[in-house]
Structure 1
Amino acid sequence: MPLFSSVLVANRGEIACRVIRTLRTLGIRSIAVYSDADSHAKHVTDADTAVRIGPAPARESYLSIPAVIAAAKHSGAEAIHPGYGFLSENADFASACAEAGIVFIGPGVDALEVMGDKIRSKNHVAASGVPVIPGDSRPGLSDDDLVASAESVGYPLLIKPSAGGGGKGMETVHTAAELPDALATARRVAASAFGDDTLFLERLINEPRHIEVQLIADTHGSVIHLGERECSLQRRHQKVIEEAPSPLLDADTRARIGEAACRVARSVGYVGAGTVEFLVSASAPGEFFFMEMNTRLQVEHPVTEEVTGIDLVAEQVRIAAGERLSLGQDDVSLVGHAIEARVYAENPERGFLPSTGTVLALREPVRDGIRVDSGLAVGSEVGASYDPMLAKVIARGADRAEALSRLDRALAETTIFGVRTNIEYLRLLLAEPEVRSGALDTSLIDQKLPSLDFARPDAQLLAAAALAVHAERSALRAGSAWSTLDGWRLGQSRPSEYIFALGEGATATVSILAAGTAASVRVNGGEAHTATLRQVDELSSILTWDFETRMLSLARTPTGMWVGRDGFSWELSLIPRAERLASRLAAIARPDAASSPEVRAPMPGTVIRVPVDNGAVVAAGDTVVIVEAMKMEHRLTATVAGTVSISVAPGDLVKLDQVVATLTPVMSAADADPHATRPTVEGDAA
């Protein structure tokens, strides 16, 4: 008999797909829920059945307790697995499940309430004898209270929301002058993300390393830990790469930190899978400080599964059904090494701004030692309503070096077209000497980012894209000597020319002169190379040059081409001839015209604040509009000093590249006064 006959998964994306996968192996009917934005999502098609719970905004769907409970009742679910994020740590949701007679696959309400409040949890754990980070975690601190206590806490310090997690609302402050604005931002983000703007302060630890311990506990009083994970590679307090075990800890510290985590869990009568997070200074690896407890499954749980051989979701389900743990602490052993990279929908070249789009083509690596937890499929819509994480690529090896090498190769074999991702950045990060050696800390990414050299489409990718477009157009015109694109004419043949927009005003020109099955290709007037293009499958093409052969990936779009190689991908927009001609004519007609600088939305999102008045004079760099997208705030700033004209209001939805404000540059004194003396310029009329 199955543990439960049916379980509803109250989540979306890769974690919903991952939970559904285990439910299937356990013989349990899976029920997905979805918003209007996710009606065709992979987790919906993976599940045995699915129920709509509301419109796209999370508060009206995935965060709506009544909607999720109603879906569970309607579908006959006996239990609900919350995944992570959304309602996974919501005590009111756990209570609502109990009232409805539905099993909540997670801890009890008391544990959720104590550990869900970071101020309360920190004070509770300190009373249990577990060391905590110095700071001010008194309940209900006002901004004035926080400003007053900041001096005693000491700079640099960290502002943290009491509710929620994932780094949202956390602000690093180095001086007293930065504190008021940082507090305002932290409260606004915390209120938006968690519905609670309570804040507290912590000392910023030097050379910090983020170490967390995985726990499982049953309803019969057994609590064990499954070793630790290293999560120090973070950007904006958001984990990027995680691994197990940590390269920092020795066996003695591993045992002590594991026991401390179990003590935390026992202090609240914890049940299920959970994680206790600690901060450890790289200069004093034998000391650790409690940060928080996550009363749910973690994003990075696969690395623990890979080194222990334990399916944590299956353990959660069995525990929720009342079974005892099937193993004791002495039965746990860590074999080999595992490392995980989070694939996000974001554009590293544009400051990691979230990106959106439709997945046009997809290749995920399949090989020994590689696991991919993904919520993607061809046709998946990646919007701005939810977290930008798309998938996780996990590598396992006999040791850390092998795991790192396998992960890098797997990322190189991953192709996602239709939305920009951070895959190239992940590979650059894995190649850094500190990462290879294990000399990590939570500030390493910030230190390395300025020196990372992000790629742009090179001659090979540009040529491949042009050849693919050329071949497609030639096929459409086949059958007539007058309509082929081989460049034939009376006299010398003329090459076909393709011009691609590369972004930020840059373009590239590729000329192709076809000769049978081969073509002579020049990129930006450079050296000519003979190339052929042979289709391999629906996603990949092989471009064979006379000097090298390499695998490239191509995917046609209505306006151009996506190109990729070794994990790098780029969208090339083909500039139509009519558009090029119009641009040249406009330049000729208005050679001296100066347009007003425009502030554009770098991503789709929602305007949450306009901090300046319409018509105000602002300086270059001043924030004029704040947009929220994928649970993050983005400040849009003035590029020049001038008078600002705001074209949006709080609550407005904005599209990519939409103009949100226009700046009229401040005139100089000479421009403002027509009678002002100006210097004589050679050629002026006498």
Structure 2
Amino acid sequence: MFDRVLIANRGEIAVRIARTLRRLGITSVAVHTASDAGAKHVLEADIALQVPKYLDIEAIIQGALASGAQAVHPGYGFLAENAEFARRCAAAGLVFVGPPAEAIEAMGDKIRAKATVSAAGVPVVPGAAEPGDALAAWRDFPALIKPSAGGGGKGMVLVRSAAELPDALESARRTARAAFGDATLLIERYVERPRHIEIQILADTHGNVVHLGERECSLQRRHQKIIEEAPSPFVTPPARARMGAAAVEAARAVGYAGAGTVEFIVDGATGAYHFMEMNTRLQVEHPVTEMVTGLDLVELQLRAAAGERLPFGQEDVRLDGHAVEARVYAEDPARGFLPTGGRVLLLREPRDDATAGVRVDSGLAEGGVVGSEFDPMLAKVVAWAPDREAALRSLDRALAGTAVLGVVTNVPFLRALAAHPAVVAGELDTGLVERALPDLVPGVEVPDEALAAAALVFHALPQGEDPWEVTDGWRVGESAWTTWRLESRDGVHPVQVRGLPEESAEVRINGVNVAARIRKGGSDAAGLAVTLGGRTEHYVHVRDGDTLWLGRDGRAWAFTRHLIGDPGDRPGTAAAGDGVVRSPMPGTVLVVKAQVGEQVSEGQPLIIVEAMKMEHTVTAPRDGVLSELPAQAGQSVDMDAVLAVISEGVPSFGGAAGAERPERGKAAASGDRARRTE
């Protein structure tokens, strides 16, 4: 076994690998960029080295040699499926903790992978591939376009007609080139309402290969997995044996070694399965397999890389209980799941508790910044129980105890999805999430309880040293009301308070008076118990300047205070015809599809913005003439930055002549995020 291992990754997977290295008594070496120097994976490692970029192969190899590491673990993503990196490690005398470079190449290219496993007798999905004109001539719809070198669902496009095909090929090729450096595509017949089932395999360098059962990964959005579980509620023991055997044969076909995953598309009606791809690395969802098998896949990867034989055979593999994993993302479900960001002002995560069956793999730390440089996945919350129903309940409790204040996350969405009747019944397919979105995506409306809690917190804060400035509303005879304007993404809300919140106060919302008080909640300084009308709700809270963040049951709200103000106009509710087009997320302008002076129609694509290797097409909110176009290809833009302005009249080409410029601080109709009016 190795004495020292460099982890060529970041975030939660680097923290997770370091955990196993620590248990095995192996020194862990982390790498980080200058902006990531304070990240959690750096703090968790024994040694930390700065590199220019996480994908700088030469810097990472030199760092491994300088640190005295004997092996490099690439985690997943980044360099995990880079055959050249595996070869460079070997040439430098370092052990690459993964399969041989030849296996990475054979399975990393989807076109070659299908041919390889088909020759081994594994069923594959009918399709066509480049080079050639087969893609443009494809007529078997619906169909799915995929980057040949891709993974993680990036660049995959569902096409339902020949008319959609040219634009879909253009978009997929652009994403494939940007994300993977290879624009080669393939197209496959799309199976309606399929299940996504994958088989975890392990192989050593002595020819032994086993599978560890399946994972159900059908809960996806835009081909990105959201909630995974093991075992699948659909797969029977005979089907598990057949699919497991096919996965083992696929691994043998390329001389595989280490941990890998063979993914299948399964017809939910017939049970027929077809090989989709093989991921030659550890998967994001590997914890559910670990929790039902009792095995540490990172340890087994290390032992295989060190030349050890697998310590068990196929007959020794047992699946115990049920495990479910939810991926926590920095994204906003209420805004079409666009990436978010910000500083983590307060973090509350469930504790790893083997007796309770809860595990959290997280790369988050208070004070850390979530930016647009990396994938938006922040953490994974995993729950185990003796049966599936209990595991789902345990997952819900764990998510309810998760709070990331300062960054908008998808935690409320995850709770809604896990509780959806079809999910509870195990009736899953890869299109379920999209069909159920209206029932799953929480609105931006703030409940009265949270408004009252925020007003009480602001009201309890000292307003100055002068006792006459205390906002308790004291008057001779009777206390007066203090009016707070609380601005949130939902708009501006007037809330009235009188009295002392720590003793006995009254809160008035929409003309209704409620008795209320606040107190510190337990031993946590950020805990807050708010009693309204006799009912107590528990929150966590943190202030950031004039902004107060409140969190409860996995939800979070941000409020900006304005003392004794007039509610005025509600931000975020500008009329649909105002013509201001804003960026829906922080990112980079990839393509500008129109020009100043052009007549445009409502819904017409104008600009493509990219963030975290995800494209978002910004469309015209109304008919009119494009009078202003600040956005330029290659330009970095902030969330809600003005990209274009559409006017009713014909403008001069100097810019806004004859067109009224948008009022600063007013939101476009397509943007649902509230902002302070400047």
Q: Normalised by the size of structure 2, how large is the TM-score? A: 0.92
Over residues 19-55 of structure 1, what are the superposed CA-to-partner deviations in whole Å (9 max), with x where a residue is unaligned?
Answer: 011111111111111122311110011111111111x
The one of 620, 623, 632 equivalent to 1:638 is 620
Deviation of 1:443 (Å): 0.3
CA contact (8 A) 1:521 1:531 kept: no
- Relative to structure 1, is the Cα distance of residues 36 and 622 closer, same or farther in structure 2, using a 3 angstrom cutoff? farther
Superposition map of 1:171-570 within 5 A = 171-285=157-271, 287-366=272-351, 367=353, 368-452=356-440, 454-455=442-443, 456-473=445-462, 476-477=464-465, 480-490=466-476, 492-503=478-489, 506-515=491-500, 517-536=503-522, 537-570=524-557
Other-structure match for 2:559 = 572
Deviates more, 1:66-75 or 1:395-404: 66-75
Deviation of 1:527 (Å): 2.8
Matched, 1:657 2:657: no
Whole-angstrom distance in 1 between the partners of 2:282 and 2:544: 38
Deviation of 1:666 (Å): 4.4
Deviation of 1:524 (Å): 3.3
Secondary structure at 2:427's aligned position in 1? Answer: coil
Whole-angstrom distance in 1 between the partners of 2:36 and 2:609: 23
Deviation of 1:549 (Å): 1.6
Whole-angstrom distance in 2 between the partners of 1:532 and 1:125: 63
Whole-angstrom distance in 2 between the partners of 1:394 and 1:308: 14
Whole-angstrom distance in 2 between the partners of 1:601 and 1:353: 11
Whole-angstrom distance in 1 between the partners of 2:434 and 2:169: 22
The one of 15, 25, 46 equivalent to 2:13 is 15
CA contact (8 A) 1:107 1:270 kept: yes
Whole-angstrom distance in 1 between the partners of 2:217 and 2:622: 39
Q: Which amino acid is 1:646 matched to?
A: L
Whole-angstrom distance in 2 between the partners of 1:185 and 1:594: 28
> How many corresponding residue pairs?
642
* Unpaired runs of at least 5, structure 1: 55-60, 587-591, 673-686
Matched, 1:615 2:597: yes
- Relative to structure 1, is the Cα distance of residues 651 and 74 closer, same or farther in structure 2, using a 3 angstrom cutoff? farther
Deviation of 1:667 (Å): 7.0
Whole-angstrom distance in 1 between the partners of 2:287 and 2:441: 30
Whole-angstrom distance in 2 between the partners of 1:530 and 1:33: 50
Deviation of 1:544 (Å): 1.5
Over residues 71-90 of structure 1, what are the superposed CA-to-partner deviations in whole Å (9 max), with x where a residue is unaligned?
Answer: 21222221110000011000
- Relative to structure 1, is the Cα distance of residues 575 and 642 closer, same or farther in structure 2, using a 3 angstrom cutoff? farther
- Relative to structure 1, is the Cα distance of residues 596 and 246 closer, same or farther in structure 2, using a 3 angstrom cutoff? closer
Whole-angstrom distance in 2 between the partners of 1:594 and 1:534: 44
Whole-angstrom distance in 2 between the partners of 1:526 and 1:128: 71
Over residues 624-673 of structure 1, what are the superposed CA-to-partner deviations in whole Å (9 max), with x where a residue is unaligned?
Answer: 221111221111121122222211212211112111212222479xxx9x
Other-structure match for 1:129 = 121
Whole-angstrom distance in 2 between the partners of 1:291 and 1:81: 26
Deviates more, 1:644-653 or 1:194-203: 644-653
Secondary structure at 2:136's aligned position in 1? Answer: helix
Whole-angstrom distance in 2 between the partners of 1:593 and 1:63: 45
CA contact (8 A) 2:229 2:325 kept: yes
Secondary structure at 1:527's aligned position in 2? Answer: strand
Whole-angstrom distance in 2 between the partners of 1:226 and 1:236: 27
CA contact (8 A) 1:519 1:532 kept: no
- Relative to structure 1, is the Cα distance of residues 415 and 594 closer, same or farther in structure 2, using a 3 angstrom cutoff? closer
Other-structure match for 1:679 = none
Other-structure match for 1:58 = none
Deviation of 1:577 (Å): 6.3
Deviates more, 1:190-199 or 1:614-623: 614-623
Secondary structure at 1:482's aligned position in 2? Answer: helix
Whole-angstrom distance in 2 between the partners of 1:379 and 1:524: 37
Deviation of 1:526 (Å): 2.3
CA contact (8 A) 1:499 1:575 kept: yes
- Relative to structure 1, is the Cα distance of residues 553 and 572 closer, same or farther in structure 2, using a 3 angstrom cutoff? same
CA contact (8 A) 2:145 2:156 kept: yes
CA contact (8 A) 1:161 1:170 kept: yes
Deviates more, 1:92-101 or 1:518-527: 518-527
Whole-angstrom distance in 1 between the partners of 2:576 and 2:250: 64
CA contact (8 A) 1:159 1:173 kept: yes
The one of 41, 53, 69 equivalent to 2:61 is 69
Whole-angstrom distance in 2 between the partners of 1:379 and 1:344: 17
Matched, 1:604 2:586: yes
- Relative to structure 1, is the Cα distance of residues 453 and 237 closer, same or farther in structure 2, using a 3 angstrom cutoff? closer
The one of 50, 73, 91 equivalent to 2:83 is 91
Q: Which amino acid is 2:623 matched to?
A: A
Deviates more, 1:653-662 or 1:534-543: 534-543
Matched, 1:31 2:29: yes
Structure 1's consecutive aligned runs of 4 or more residues displaced over 6 angstroms after TM superposition are: 592-595
Over residues 163-204 of structure 1, what are the superposed CA-to-partner deviations in whole Å (9 max), with x where a residue is unaligned?
Answer: 120100000001111111111110011111100110011011
- Relative to structure 1, is the Cα distance of residues 557 and 543 closer, same or farther in structure 2, using a 3 angstrom cutoff? same
The one of 141, 149, 156 equivalent to 1:155 is 141
Whole-angstrom distance in 2 between the partners of 1:483 and 1:639: 47
Secondary structure at 2:319's aligned position in 1? Answer: coil
- Relative to structure 1, is the Cα distance of residues 576 and 609 closer, same or farther in structure 2, using a 3 angstrom cutoff? farther
Secondary structure at 2:135's aligned position in 1? Answer: helix
Percent identity over the alignment is 52
CA contact (8 A) 1:276 1:292 kept: yes
Over residues 259-279 of structure 1, what are the superposed CA-to-partner deviations in whole Å (9 max), with x where a residue is unaligned?
Answer: 100000001000000000001
Whole-angstrom distance in 1 between the partners of 2:113 and 2:55: 23
Deviation of 1:503 (Å): 2.2
Whole-angstrom distance in 1 between the partners of 2:577 and 2:173: 38
CA contact (8 A) 2:228 2:326 kept: yes
Whole-angstrom distance in 2 between the partners of 1:598 and 1:667: 16
Deviation of 1:361 (Å): 0.6
Whole-angstrom distance in 2 between the partners of 1:457 and 1:564: 12
Other-structure match for 2:47 = 49
Secondary structure at 1:146's aligned position in 2? Answer: coil
Deviation of 1:135 (Å): 1.0
The one of 4, 14, 36 equivalent to 1:6 is 4
Q: Normalised by the size of structure 1, how large is the TM-score? A: 0.90
Other-structure match for 1:629 = 611
CA contact (8 A) 2:576 2:622 kept: no
Other-structure match for 1:117 = 109
CA contact (8 A) 2:608 2:616 kept: yes
Whole-angstrom distance in 2 between the partners of 1:158 and 1:593: 38
Whole-angstrom distance in 1 between the partners of 2:486 and 2:226: 32
Whole-angstrom distance in 2 between the partners of 1:37 and 1:598: 34
Other-structure match for 1:102 = 94
CA contact (8 A) 2:588 2:611 kept: yes
Whole-angstrom distance in 2 between the partners of 1:353 and 1:452: 16
